[in-house]
Structure 1
Amino acid sequence: MEQYAQDTPKWKAELFDWLKSFLIIGSATAVIYLFIMAPYVVQGRSMETTLHDGERVIVNKAIYYLDDPQPGDIVIIHPDASGENWIKRVVAVAGDTVEAKNDQLYVNGQPLQEDYLNENRLKSEAAGVVLTADFGPVTVEEGSVFVMGDNRNNSMDSRVIGPVQLDHVVGRAEFVYWPFNAIRMPK
């Protein structure tokens, strides 16, 4: 083996070292991307004013290996077999009953405090429309979450597609990294 190392031209040994490095870096990147974190581009207006069309977020995929999504989490979901990604907010979890009456969302009969809707609520009131139309009650089955967009008048969510199964939840949006002047943690 030592004889081979001595007989190998220096350029071949260096090339082999570079290839090993690229293989290790590529493998590590793939593992991180597939199982831990990934970038995501917000598409559409369903989460305005919290997130805007074209913003880029980092999604934590590992978080839900340890725990289930919680109310208030902003999540990336695959709502169907198309592989399309949607971004929504979890408003209820398994066993909860969700309904909306008179522009108020209720979970288990209690009004849900949704401060993240303040700006949208003002816009809806100024336009003379309700932000959250009446629906339900809907009971969230085991292994699912109920998701809604913050821009309730412009969101395809669990009110239409039903509760989302946990295996269709990709991960939680952790922070906006683009554009640079809007870096923040979405709440």
Structure 2
Amino acid sequence: MFTNYASTALKVVSSSMEPGLNPGDRILFSKLLLDTDIGGMKWVDLGIKRGDLVVISPPYFRKNQQFIQIVNPLVQFITFQKIQLSSYPRYSWEKTNMIKRVIAVPGDSVRMVNHRVYLKTPKSSKFRYEEDVIEVSYNWKSVDTPGIWIPGYPLDGSSSEITLEEGEFFVLSDFRGQGSDSYLWGPLSSDRILGKVFFRYWPFNAFSFL
């Protein structure tokens, strides 16, 4: 139990966090960095800051989905395709763990234009570029928008302003438009954050703290 809190290994399986993390990379994350009281022992609460890499359970994930995917074909066969247990045809859409970057924290206001984030903190009266607010340095990229795609079309990389409530975080993929994140499903509840990513141990040439 303590080992799972202190350090858990996870393999990167998608390109959604490129260019920082690539498919096949192995990282370590820890719930210990989020908790102040584990097993009766007190720890320093490092909190969640803008720019942190975190492992999350996406808001649409259902713990029983894998079981449903196994049973569903049988139910459909018995009921002559009239009943199914799941509206999700692909289990890949319901991954247990995903890696995302924290862009905004409770109290922040956030909006996006062409995948670029603009932030307004509680201490500021105006929006600023994310790189002017977030202290952590990182690189991001975005998918190429088709030439016929004009502003205002769905998934154009822009979103209206929202202000995060207590316990809400705005998390994004570093490869914007490539992954499932707050741009698609809105603020993430703090209880969906499983731990902080702190180390990459594979490949060896990218061995580093994160």
TM-score (norm 2): 0.65
For structure 2, list consecutive stretches of 5 or more residues without a partner in the other structure.
36-44, 64-95, 121-126
Q: Which residue number in structure 1 is paired with residue 161 of structure 2? A: 137
Structure 1's consecutive aligned runs of 4 or more residues displaced over 4 angstroms after TM superposition are: 127-130
Paired AA for residue 148 in structure 1: L
Alpha-carbon distance in 1 for matches of 2:144, 2:199: 27
Structure whose residues are more often helix by fraction: 1
Q: Which residue number in structure 1 is paired with residue 129 of structure 2? A: 111
Alpha-carbon distance in 2 for matches of 1:156, 1:139: 20
Kept in 1, the 8 Å contact 2:182–2:188? The answer is yes
Alpha-carbon distance in 2 for matches of 1:82, 1:93: 25
Q: Which residue number in structure 2 is paired with residue 168 of structure 1? A: 192
SS in 1 for 2:139: helix
Cα shift readout 1:123-152 (whole Å, capped 9, x = no counterpart): 859x9799x811121211211110000000
Specify which of 15, 20, 33 is matched with residue 63 of structure 1: 33
Alpha-carbon distance in 2 for matches of 1:103, 1:154: 11
Kept in 1, the 8 Å contact 2:115–2:176? The answer is no
Q: Which residue number in structure 1 is paired with residue 15 of structure 2? A: 45
For structure 1, list consecutive stretches of 5 or more residues without a partner in the other structure.
1-29
Q: Which residue number in structure 2 is paired with residue 98 of structure 1? A: 110
Q: Which residue number in structure 2 is paired with residue 10 of structure 1? A: none
Structure 1 residue 96: Cα displacement: 0.7
Matched, 1:78 2:90: no
- Among the aligned pairs, what percent are the same residue? 32
Alpha-carbon distance in 2 for matches of 1:170, 1:117: 23
Paired AA for residue 110 in structure 1: R
Q: Which residue number in structure 1 is paired with residue 183 of structure 2? A: 159
TM-score (norm 1): 0.72
RMSD value, Cα:
2.5
Larger Rg: 1
Alpha-carbon distance in 2 for matches of 1:96, 1:59: 25
Alpha-carbon distance in 2 for matches of 1:61, 1:153: 28
Of residues 74-83 and 42-51 in structure 1, the stretch that sits farther from structure 2 once superposed is 74-83
Alpha-carbon distance in 2 for matches of 1:100, 1:51: 23
Q: Which residue number in structure 2 is paired with residue 185 of structure 1? A: 209
SS in 2 for 1:58: strand
Alpha-carbon distance in 1 for matches of 2:103, 2:33: 18
